[in-house]
Structure 1
Amino acid sequence: MHEYRSPALKRLNCLLSEMDAAYHEAAQRQGQNDSTSRILYALCELGSPASLRAVCESTGLSKQTVNSALRKLEADGILYLEPSGARSKRVCLTEAGLRVADATAGRLIRLENSIFDEWPAEDVQQYLGLMERYLQAFRCKLPELGGQE
């Protein structure tokens, strides 16, 4: 079989898979599934209330996955949805939801910040700059795949 991946791409894919696994483990340690964890994380970042569209964009999850997770969180008394205009909704944490979000996603965000706090500022900037550069190049090259644009 043809070798498609360079050593750098193999390493990147391995690191991305390991990051996904680490965040999955973080969600499990906090008694959550990945979707719930990502939604609460997004609400910590965006603030509550947040538009449903912003939550979908921030999590990277499909609208269907977000809606399914939101129904469960709503049934658990963690959040509620309210109309925001004719065709949009806002996601609002309840008082209990604020406590849950702080105890789970908030703890995760504080852990992530502590990692960056341990790095020299120039390392943080270099890391983020390179990630951004890769993402921009990737997006620029996507049209080469054809299909939808």
Structure 2
Amino acid sequence: MNDMNKIIEQRIIYTHLYNQYEGIYQKIAQNAGMAEIPYRVLYALCEDGKKWSQIDICREWNYAKQSVNTAISKLVKQGYVVLMQDKSMPRNHKIIVLTEQGQEFCNRWVRPVIDADNQAFAAMSEQERKMCIAIRKKHYEFVKNSLKDLLELSEEENTGE
């Protein structure tokens, strides 16, 4: 097998593993009766206790504003979150806050996933965790830079420029 075939084979394995990992989240969201993006919003809210706005989630999770807006609207209608004004933020910059019902949902469907992610990382050595992050970051940066033209074109199309 030549080097390029080996690289392609390894990339396919990497992609399949990534898709299987992401599939875990999708399946759990589905089992919870929820679409993936609303589930990911709840994951963000439960993950580290920080204050999240719609804009923050769009930036951190790389979702389109409309997708996050739709997800948050669904979560509000389901009674899982409310939007609240935070005095430390601009007027139109509301934070997303879990309701009691949202906390209960997260305890059942989200916190076990966060705990499993934490346990998986804890099962690795410090060096393995750093290596995992470094390799993932290197791959991300390379792909992002390689596709810069397409990404910029995509942004222009989405903003109508």
Report the TM-score range of the alignment, normalised by the length of the smaller protein: 0.7 to 0.9
Q: TM-score, normalised by structure 1?
A: 0.81
Read off the aligned partner of 1:17 and give its amino acid letter: N
Q: Which runs of 5+ in 2 are unaligned?
A: 156-161
1:64 matched residue in structure 2: 66
Report the 3-state secondary structure (helix = DSSP H, G, I; strand = E; otherwise coil) of the residue aligned with 1:110: helix
Match of 1:125 in 2: 130
> Over aligned residue pairs, what C-alpha RMSD do you find?
2.5
Deviation beyond 3 Å, 4+ runs, structure 1: 144-149
Q: 1:94 aligns with which of 96, 99, 119?
A: 99
State whether residues 48 and 91 of structure 1, in contact with CA within 8 Å, keep that contact through their aligned partners in structure 2.
no
Which structure 1 segments of 5+ residues have no match? none
Aligned partner of 2:101: which letter? A
Matches within 5 A, 1:47-58: 47=49, 49-58=51-60
- Equivalents in 2 of 1:146, 1:48: separation in Å? 29
Residues 147 and 31 (structure 1 numbering): CA distance in 2 closer, same or farther, change over 3 Å? closer
Q: With structure 2 as the length reference, what TM-score do the two structures score? A: 0.76
- Give the alignment partner of residue 144 of structure 2, picking from 130, 136, 139: 139
Q: How does 1:26-65 map to 2 (within 5 A)?
A: 26-45=28-47, 47=49, 49-65=51-67
Distance 2:38 2:72 in 1: 8
1:142 Cα offset (Å): 2.6
Q: Quote the offset at 1:88 in angstroms.
A: 2.5
Question: How far 1:73 sits from its partner (Å)?
Answer: 1.1
Percent identical: 24
| One of 121, 124, 128 as aligned partner of 1:116 | 121
